[in-house]
Every structure is written in C-alpha cells, then in structure tokens.
C-alpha cells in the first residue's frame, strides 16, 4: 500500500465498524432476559425495516417505490427471497425506464 | 447448540443471489476508490476489513489527504449505530452460542444477513450457522466486486450505480412480509414510516432507521403488541 495514512484510516474505520457489530451483542449479555429492553428488542425488527424502507423510498423516488412494491408482491406470492429481489429490481428498472 | 452445518448450508443457498447484487454494489465502490486515487490493495482492504456499504460510503464522502481519521470514525459510529441494536437483538436468539463462535461471525454482520437470520429465527429456525452461511456470499460479492470495479475501466454512473443504490432497500422490503403481525402492526409501522421520513428529511437517511424504528417500537411496546 502506497501510504501508511491510508492504512491507518482503513484500520480505524474497520475497528469502529466491528465495535458497533459486536458491541450490541456483548452489551446484551449483561442485560436481563426479561423486562422492557428485551421486549423492545423483540418488537424492533419490523419497525426498523419500515423506517429504513420509508427513508430509502424518499431518497430513491418513484423507481424505488415501484421496486419496493414489486419486491413485497413477489415475496408475498412466492415466499422466496430471490424471487422478491428479482421482482424488486425488475420493477425499479421498469419505473426508471418509464420515468 | 444452535450452530449447525445444515443451517450453514441453508444460509449459503439463501445468500447466493447476493453475490450478484453485492457484487454490483462492490463494483461501484471499487470504481469510486479508483477515482479517489486509492491503489488496488487499499481498495480491497477497505471492503475486506470494513465490509460496510454505509461506513465506506461515509468515508468516501469525507475522503481527503491526509485522511481526517477522527471525523471518519465518528461518522462511521453514527451511521452504523444500528448495528448495536441488531447485535443486541441477535443475542436473545444465540445466548447458548459461545462468544468465540459468535464474535468472528459478527465481523460479517450486515443489514441483509441480520434481517434474514431474524426472519429465520422467528420461523423457529434460530441458527448461527445460517447467519454465517448467508453472510459469506454477501461478503464475497462485496469484496470481489470492489476488486473487479477497481480493475475494470468503468465509470461510477448510469444503471450500474442505480442498481447498487437500490440494493439495500430491496432486500429489506422483501423481508417485510415476514414481520407482519396482522392489523396490530399498522399503527406502529405508520409511526415508524412517518418518523423515518421526517428524520430522513432533516437529519439524513442514516438516522432514519434507528430513530423512526425506535419510535414505532416504543408505540408497539406501549400498546402491548407482543403480549
């Protein structure tokens, strides 16, 4: 690698990213198994999905909305992730071409 | 112990399409790194060690020589704070998996692999092997794509960039039906979407998932949706 400063940046960002990935898991070890926090964690995924999707659609516009509808429809019908991905990409590409 | 080779195999199969989709996104990242003047080794090392589209995109946005490392670290912590929630959530499924097994697997934790593993666990198939299995094709696609993108004479515009930008969204949305708990999901999901949109417009999309999802989760808990 041509520059040690670049290597330092890579290592620093990698350390932070791994700390985020492992930190929640390790911190949760010290957490009680019952109570409000475990309840919140159980309820979190669907809500996180929706918030993530809403922000993504806002950023991506109509093609993203069409792609999301295509993915949800394909998933609901086929129950297969690969079909949902294909349906989503196809709908987004079609909406992009028509826009 | 919920780490099985069957789960690993199932995860590998489920993750296969991501070789292509992560590969396309990785190619865009590799092209962008070449545009910044990073050499091949640095570009591949970024995707290998950091392995986070959001963190790497943030670093791209902040890139300068010398690199503002403290600012980059802070920005990456902020944009990847969602991993804290994801990791804590995974803990409740894998309390009986030793840390020496889980900690290396968590290095490959991504949005898609977390979503897929949680969906599997909620179908009654909790398996850390599945998390590793579906993460491997995703990481291979991302790292291989970065290498290819740096090596090929491509430009980071057009349909390639569009497909790569849409990739994180489509897999999250594809898994949305697995989280539907019937009509009681409507109100918290509406709150998550509304707050997520407000946050995305004001603070930026990186915070939308955490704050919007947090607000919806709080509403779910107050309504007692899990009892």
Q: Does A54 touch chain B (CB under 8 A)?
A: yes
A20–B176: do the CB atoms touch at under 8 Å? no
Secondary structure element (H or E) that encloses residue A61, with its range: none
Name every chain A residue with its beta carbon within 8 A of the beta carbon of B218.
Answer: 40
pTM > 0.90: no
Given A28, A36, A86, which is nearest B91 (Cβ)?
A28
Q: Which residues contact A65 (CB under 8 A, 6 or more apart)?
A: A57, A95
What is d(CA A58, CA A68) in angstroms, rounded to the nearest whole number? Answer: 12
Is-contact A15 B177, C-beta < 8 A?
Answer: no
Q: Can you give the pLDDT at residue B196?
A: 93
pLDDT in tens, chain A (99 residues): 558 999 999 999 999 999 999 999 998 877 776 778 778 877 887 888 898 889 889 988 888 899 999 988 988 888 777 788 788 888 888 888 887
| Cα B98-B142-A14 angle, rounded to 5 deg | 55
DSSP class of residue B50 equals I
Given A6, A56, A75, which is nearest B67 (Cβ)?
A6
Shortest distance, CA B204 to any CA of chain A (angstroms): 9
ipTM at complex level: 0.78
* Segments of chain B scoring below 70 in pLDDT: 1, 79, 155-165, 167-168, 171, 206, 227
Q: Does A38 touch chain B (CB under 8 A)?
A: yes
């Amino acid at each position: 690698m041509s520059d040690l400063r670049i290597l330092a940046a890579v290592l620093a960002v990698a350390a932070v990213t791994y700390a985020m990935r492992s930190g929640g898991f390790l911190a949760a070890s010290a957490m009680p198994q019952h109570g409000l926090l475990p309840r919140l964690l159980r309820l979190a995924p669907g809500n996180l999905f929706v918030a993530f999707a809403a922000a993504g659609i806002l950023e991506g516009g109509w093609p993203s909305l069409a792609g999301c509808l295509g993915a949800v429809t394909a998933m609901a019908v086929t129950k297969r992730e690969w079909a949902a991905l294909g349906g989503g990409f196809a709908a987004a590409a079609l909406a992009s071409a028509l826009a | 112990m919920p780490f099985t080779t069957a789960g690993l195999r199932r995860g590998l199969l489920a993750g296969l399409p991501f070789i292509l989709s992560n590969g396309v996104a990785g190619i865009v990242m590799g092209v962008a790194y070449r545009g910044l003047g990073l050499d091949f080794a640095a570009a591949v090392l970024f995707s290998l060690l950091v392995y986070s589209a959001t963190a790497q995109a943030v670093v791209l946005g902040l890139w300068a020589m010398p690199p503002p490392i403290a600012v980059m670290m802070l920005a990456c912590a902020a944009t990847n704070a969602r991993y804290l929630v994801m990791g804590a959530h995974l803990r409740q499924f894998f309390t009986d998996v030793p840390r020496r097994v889980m900690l290396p697997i968590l290095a490959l934790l991504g949005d898609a692999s977390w979503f897929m593993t949680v969906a599997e666990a909620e179908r009654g198939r909790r398996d850390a092997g599945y998390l590793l299995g579906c993460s491997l094709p995703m990481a291979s696609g991302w790292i291989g794509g970065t290498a290819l993108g740096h090596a090929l004479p491509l430009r980071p515009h057009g349909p390639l960039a569009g497909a790569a930008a849409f990739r994180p969204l489509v897999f999250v949305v594809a898994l949305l039906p697995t989280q539907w708990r019937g009509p009681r999901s409507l109100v918290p999901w509406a709150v998550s979407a509304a707050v997520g949109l407000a946050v995305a417009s004001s603070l930026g999309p990186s915070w939308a998932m955490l704050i919007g999802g947090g607000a919806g989760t709080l509403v779910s808990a107050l309504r007692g949706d899990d009892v």
